[in-house]
Amino acid sequence: MNVRQSILVASVLVATAAHADQVVLEVSVRQLTHVKKDAYAFPGVGVFQIVRGTQPFQGASCPDLSNKDGRLTCSIGCDKADATVKPLRVVPPSRAVRGFIPPPLVDIELKGCTLVPPALPPFLYRDAKLVVENALQKAPELARTVAAMQDGKGFNFVPVGEALPVLVGVASSDKGRQALYDLNAAAGAFAVSSTETDPNFAQTLSDYQVGITNILLREAVKSKAGSLPVSLKISFDKADYYNNLVAVEDALDRKVGRTPQQNIFLNDIQKLKGKSIDPLRNANLYKHVPGVVQAGM
Q: Encode pLDDT of 152-193 as tens digits.
A: 667 899 988 899 999 999 999 999 999 999 999 999 888 888
Strand partners, 32: 7
Q: What percent of the chain has pLDDT over 70?
A: 86
Between 232 and 106, the more confident residue is 232
Instruction: Determine phi and psi for 284, rounding to 5 degrees.
Output: -65, -25
| DSSP-assigned letters across all residues of 167-208 | HHHHTTSHHHHHHHHHHHHHHHHHHHHHTTT-HHHHHHHHHH
CA distances to 39, 214, 278 from 238, rounded to whole Å, are 39, 9, 12
| DSSP-assigned letters across all residues of 126-150 | EEHHHHHHHHHHH-GGGGGTEEE-T
Residue 210, SS3?
Answer: helix
Domains of the chain from N-terminus onward: 6-121 (2.60.40), 127-286 (no CATH)
Answer yes or no: pTM beyond 0.95: no
If phi over 0 gives left and psi between -120 and 50 gives alpha, with beta otherwise, what is residue 43?
A: beta
Is pLDDT at 233 greater than 80 in this prediction? yes
Q: How far apart are CA 186 and CA 83, in angstroms?
A: 42
Is pLDDT at 24 greater than 80 in this prediction? yes
pLDDT value of position 5: 46
Q: For the segment 116-154, what is each residue's pLDDT rounded down to a tens digit?
A: 987 677 777 788 888 898 899 999 999 999 988 766 667
> Cβ(186)–Cβ(135) under 8 Å?
yes
Residue 111, SS3?
Answer: strand
- Per-residue pLDDT band for 204 (boundaries 50, 70, 90) equals very high
Give the amino acid at 32. L
Is pLDDT at 241 greater than 50 in this prediction? yes
| DSSP, res 105 | P
Give the amino acid at 117. P
